[in-house]
Amino acid sequence: MSDRSDLKSSFNRAINGRVEELERIARDILDHPESGFREVRTAKLVADWFSENGLALQTGVAKTGVVGTYDTGRPGPHIAVMGELDSLIVPGHYHADPDSGAAHACGHHAQIGAMLTVATGLLDESVKKGLSGRVSFMATPAEEYIELEYRESLRENGELEFFGGKQEFIRLGHFDDVDIAMLTHTGSETVGTFGVGGSNNGMIGKTVQYIGKAAHAGGSPHLGVNALNAAQIGLAAIHAQRETFRDADTVRVHPIITRGGDAVNSVPADVRIETYVRASNVPAILGASEKIDRALRAGALATGATVRIQTAPGYLPARYDLRLVDLYRHNAASLIGDDNIIELHHGTGCTDVGDVSQIVSTIQPTANATSGNGHGVDYLVEDYELAVIKAGKAMGLTVIDLLVESGAKGAQIADSFNAPMTVTEYITRMRGFRSDTTFKD
Amino acid sequence: MTSAENTELNALAQRSIDGATRHLISAAKTVYGTPETGFNEHKTSNYVLEQLRGIGLSVETGIARTGMKAVLHGSSPGPTVAVIAELDALRVPGHPGANAETGAAHACGHHAQIGSLLGVAMALNTPEIKKSLSGNVAFIITPAEEFIDIGERLTLKASGAIEFLSGKQEMIRLGTFDDVDMAMMVHTSATNGDSAFSIGGTSTAHVSHQVRYLGKSAHAGGAPDQGVNALQAAMIANLAINTQRETFREADVVRVHGIISSGGTSVNAIPSDVLYEGRVRARMVEAISTVAERVIRCYRAGALALGTAVEVQTIAGYHPLRQDPSMQEVFARNVERIIGPDSITIVPDDRTTGGSTDMGDLSMILPLIHPYVNSASGVGHGNDYLIEDYNRAVIAPAKVMATTIIELLGGGAGTAREALDKYKPTMTADQYVAAQREQFTIETYEPQQSH
């Protein structure tokens, strides 16, 4: 066992020498936010770092994704350590791009720092010598499920099929031989702690178009068919479904109107809505989705408008491997003490880490190092040492546990993991979520 | 008849009514104190029966449940003029005259009509006046002018007690008006105007919907996911109806309004059987069908949104009021003669009150007038609608109707015959009955579930 603790000491020491560099990279990304499938600068920054540090490099994976491969040269488990490249769009955020409104209001910039921290430690020669297997450092695009019209245009161009970066990674085969995956997200629950366990909702996305008939809103409103009224009835009808959602299913439906009419003196004839339908499990997502469609159709029926509902696959619910959680908890505690490890509850947000978790043994702990509201203008990483350095160390120490002794622990967890679905089944299932229906009475 | 004779008879009629002022006002107040809703006006009907018998008229009773008809014959044959009064109260809980149990209240002034009718009957039954008339005067007491309590009336319809849902509609169907040539009724009004009377204009036509949403009950706390909420469906429909309003044209004078007449039985159960009573009114029957189509679409949208079934029963309502210009002229002349100059405002023919009346239905088959006497305060159908001036509400209309009839049927009924010659009915009674029957439909919509 002294071998293992020596490896861990070497790992930590290697990182301690490069703290400033690693934190600087995270802050650099914070200052140059790019939203999903547009992370050109961020990707280049990661790719350059991988090259400079001797990792085998793949770029342009799922448009902007980057993979750096760390190979011990010995057979063993294949671990994916992930970090997300994309920002949100939150105009008014302290670090928002003034032109695009893009902003790291979800802390992904720290994830990249943490991922590079893991690589920094593992690349230490004395560490590498003691491990077996491979680690793929995956900088994944587009975790935030936003800008659906843009992504739809990419889909139509054949540049992607699914709207989440990790989903595309799965589709493109990057998880085919991965055994275990991990990513540390920032969190603000109890600052100074790591959160472990938990689970996340899954979701599907909908883009809705009401087509009415334009007419002069003052002169001849009786000749128009008001698509905005149709949409409002549809939205009100969605709210009328809420009492039927079960607590255990943690359903979330939260539409926005992305186009609400073109001129105030014309009866709106083209109104668009985007919404998610989230829930803790797939049957609940599908059940709620059916009710939402019904409600949306009612808006069309009431006004004589036409409604087109396009449903796109979103993310699957996330379930984390408790054996991996235990291993991680132990390593995280070695850095900040048992008292500073908290158990996460079910999260009603969604992540494409959920998709990964349906295929391989996965954890997504949180580094609780931020202030403000997630996705809000005031969400800021306050403690970079925790969010980048210690988060990276906790993951890396776990990787060491998985890959030492010929990767025995990693193999044991991977072999006994009861995957809900294979990659092929995953792709079939995701494609099955897609639908495009038009309703007019 | 010379104009001197006319003046003498008019004076006699006025004296007769003046002498009965206290009695007539007291009769109106008695009816006010016994408010009963349509087709349930048993006490009111019995009271009016006694009064008519007291005047010496023979009365046919039990027409359309509570309606009555008494005919006064002139000395020689001629047209029959009907004087109409309505028996029924509204339902306005909180009205000072409301029945504590039923909420029935005379918030539309029908009780004053009864007083006026009795006054006309007394005056015209004076032998000298009766002798001067060529033709008859039919006193017709009609039930259920207010088109309310749809559920209750549908039950009466199902039992065969009635077929149509208002008193005059039923009376047309039963032939009560078959021997009537022309009709008049004076309604009270709270319109702020300078003159005592107004005449002219029209009313809206309407159609009613009895809408029943059928969902699935479930414990509202324990298993709301197992329920299908019929109340939510009705509320979505109501919301959807409101969004249609921008498509209504002012010229069509569209009014759409509804109530939830049964909105769930217990708060801890998901409502599974909800009744919505809807009404569509418009200036013309054609506009009603356009609007009703939109409204029915909204009822169905409520069902689609929640996954309930919905049954929409369409109930034939009222026709727009068409007042006869010749009779209007005679009436206006008599107002000026009896009440004084500038006592009547002539309303343009195309001016529409938002309300509806089954006098509209009658106006499709015979000439009539429906003047208003400005004598009330408050808001019509509101809890503050009160007759302020009973002399004006009861006595003045009695006098003017009496002298109008003296002019119409006096002198060999030349004036009445002239009016009848000019009048062309919109439809016959038979055509009317057939058209009403055709409107009664039931449509059921059960949205298809995709799974």
Q: Do B306 and A441 touch (CB under 8 A)?
A: no
Name chain B contacts of A221, Cβ cutoff 8 Å. 246-247
| Closest among B404, B366, B413 to B135, alpha carbons compared | B413
- The Cα–Cα gap between B437 and B170 comes to 12
Residue pointed to by tokens 């105030």: A264
Q: Is B240 on the interface with A (CB under 8 A)?
A: yes
pLDDT higher than threshold 80 for residue A252: yes
- The Cα–Cα gap between B202 and B185 comes to 14
Ordered domains of chain A (ranges, CATH)? 2-198+318-426 (3.40.630.10), 202-315 (3.30.70.360)
Nearest Cα residue in chain B from A234: B305
Name chain B contacts of A237, Cβ cutoff 8 Å. 236, 301, 305-306
pLDDT at B4: 62
pLDDT higher than threshold 50 for residue A139: yes
Rounded mean pLDDT, B238-261:
91
Interface test with A, best of B216, B238, B241, B246 (most A CBs within 10 A): B246
Residue A190: other Cβ atoms inside 10 A: 11
CA B352 from chain center: how many Å? Answer: 15
- The Cα–Cα gap between B374 and B376 comes to 6
- The Cα–Cα gap between A311 and B326 comes to 67
Cα(first)–Cα(last) distance of chain B, in Å? 82
pLDDT at B6: 83
- The Cα–Cα gap between A189 and A366 comes to 9
- The Cα–Cα gap between B336 and A441 comes to 58
Min CA distance, B211 vs chain A (Å)? 15
The C-alpha angle B62, B65, B71, rounded to 5 degrees, equals: 40
Q: Do A245 and B225 touch (CB under 8 A)?
A: yes
- Coil vs helix vs strand at B170: helix
| 3-state SS string for B250-261 | HHHCCEEEEEEE
Whole-angstrom CA distances from B423 to A246, B169, B202, B213, B363 are 68, 21, 17, 46, 11
| 3-state SS string for B294-324 | HHHHHHHHHHHHHCCEEEEEEEECCCCCCCC
Whole-angstrom CA distances from A371 to A19, A104, A196, A367, A374 are 22, 13, 19, 12, 9
Each residue of A204-213: pLDDT tens digit? 999 999 999 9
pLDDT higher than threshold 70 for residue B172: yes
Rounded mean pLDDT, A302-326:
96
pLDDT higher than threshold 90 for residue A219: no
- The Cα–Cα gap between B53 and B327 comes to 29
Pairing of strands B344-352, B197-202: parallel
| Residue A69: HSE in the Cβ half-sphere, 13 Å Cα cutoff | 12
Residue pointed to by tokens 């926005």: A256
pLDDT at B429: 98
| Closest among A338, A337, A357 to A347, alpha carbons compared | A357
pLDDT at B449: 61
Beta bridge partners of B73: B136
Please count the residue pairs, one from chain A and one from chain B, whose beta carbons lie less than 8 angstroms apart.
91
Name chain B contacts of A290, Cβ cutoff 8 Å. 449-451
Name chain A contacts of B449, Cβ cutoff 8 Å. 290, 294
pLDDT at B351: 86
Each residue of B102-139: pLDDT tens digit? 999 999 999 999 999 999 999 999 999 999 999 999 99
Topology adopted by domain B205-317: Alpha-Beta Plaits (3.30.70)
Per-residue tokens: A167: 């989903």
pLDDT at B284: 87
Give the CA diameter of chain A: 86
Q: Do B244 and A222 touch (CB under 8 A)?
A: no
Interface test with B, best of A220, A222, A232, A437 (most B CBs within 10 A): A222
pLDDT at A1: 45
Percent of chain A predicted with pLDDT > 70: 100
Interface test with A, best of B235, B243, B250, B272 (most A CBs within 10 A): B243
Confidence of residue A384 (pLDDT cuts 50, 70, 90): very high
By the 10 Å C-beta count (0-12 exposed, 13-18 middle, 19+ buried), A343 is classed as: exposed
Confidence of residue B1 (pLDDT cuts 50, 70, 90): low
Confidence of residue A140 (pLDDT cuts 50, 70, 90): very high
Find out whether B247 and B294 touch, Cβ atoms under 8 Å.
yes
Residue A427: other Cβ atoms inside 10 A: 17
Nearest Cα residue in chain A from B290: A222
* Average pLDDT score over chain B: 94
Name chain B contacts of A240, Cβ cutoff 8 Å. 229, 232-233, 235-236, 305-306
- The Cα–Cα gap between B154 and B163 comes to 9
Residue pointed to by tokens 């006054």: B119
- The Cα–Cα gap between B379 and B15 comes to 33
Min CA distance, A344 vs chain B (Å)? 27
Q: Which residues are CB-contacts of B205 (< 8 A; sequence separation ≥ 6)?
A: B281, B282, B283, B284, B285, B288, B317, B318, B319, B320, B356, B360
Confidence of residue B355 (pLDDT cuts 50, 70, 90): confident
Residue pointed to by tokens 């298809």: B448
Min CA distance, A435 vs chain B (Å)? 13
- The Cα–Cα gap between A415 and A361 comes to 10
pLDDT at A265: 87
Min CA distance, B263 vs chain A (Å)? 15
Whole-angstrom CA distances from B23 to B26, B46, B150, B386, B400 are 5, 17, 35, 19, 18
Percent of chain A predicted with pLDDT > 90: 92
Nearest Cα residue in chain B from A239: B232
Q: Do A298 and B247 touch (CB under 8 A)?
A: no
Min CA distance, A232 vs chain B (Å)? 9
Per-residue tokens: B224: 């709301």
Min CA distance, A357 vs chain B (Å)? 29
pLDDT at B267: 86
Interface test with B, best of A216, A229, A244, A250 (most B CBs within 10 A): A244
Per-residue tokens: B320: 């727009």
pLDDT higher than threshold 50 for residue B451: no
Find out whether A87 and A38 touch, Cβ atoms under 8 Å.
no
pTM: 0.80
Name chain A contacts of B235, Cβ cutoff 8 Å. 240
pLDDT at B382: 87
Q: Is B450 on the interface with A (CB under 8 A)?
A: yes
- The Cα–Cα gap between B7 and B310 comes to 63
* Average pLDDT score over chain A: 95
Q: In CATH, which superfamily holds the domain spanning B3-202+320-434?
A: Zn peptidases (3.40.630.10)
pLDDT at B288: 93
Q: Which strands, in side-by-side order, build the sheet including A56-61? A: A56-61, A65-71, A134-140, A78-84, A180-182, A361-363
Each residue of B40-76: pLDDT tens digit? 999 999 999 999 999 999 999 999 999 999 999 999 9
Percent of chain B predicted with pLDDT > 90: 88
| 3-state SS string for chain A | CHHHHHHHHHHHHHHHCCHHHHHHHHHHHHHCCCECCCCHHHHHHHHHHHHHCCCEEEEEECCCEEEEEEECCCCCCEEEEEEECCEEECCCCCCCCCCCCEECCCCHHHHHHHHHHHHHHHCCHHHHHCCCCEEEEEEECCCCCCCHHHHHHHHHCCCCCCCCHHHHHHHCCCCCCCCEEECCEEECCCCCEEEEEEEECEEEEEEEEEECECCECCCCHHHCECHHHHHHHHHHHHHCCHHHCCHHHCCEECCEEEECCCCCCECCCEEEEEEEEEECCHHHHHHHHHHHHHHHHHHHHHHCCEEEEEEEECCCCEECCHHHHHHHHHHHHHHHCHHHEEEEEEECCCCCHHHHHCCCEEECCEEECEECCCCCCCCEECCHHHHHHHHHHHHHHHHHHHHHHHHHHHHHHHHCCCCCCCHHHHHHHHHHCCEEEEECC
- The Cα–Cα gap between B84 and B82 comes to 6
Find out whether A76 and A406 touch, Cβ atoms under 8 Å.
yes
Enumerate the domain spans of chain B: 3-202+320-434, 205-317
pLDDT at A189: 79
Percent of chain B predicted with pLDDT > 70: 98
Name chain B contacts of A298, Cβ cutoff 8 Å. 236, 240, 301-302, 304-305
Whole-angstrom CA distances from B242 to B88, B127, B237, B365 are 31, 59, 9, 35
Nearest Cα residue in chain B from A220: B247
- Sign of the torsion angle spanned by Cα atoms A22, A28, A33, A39: negative
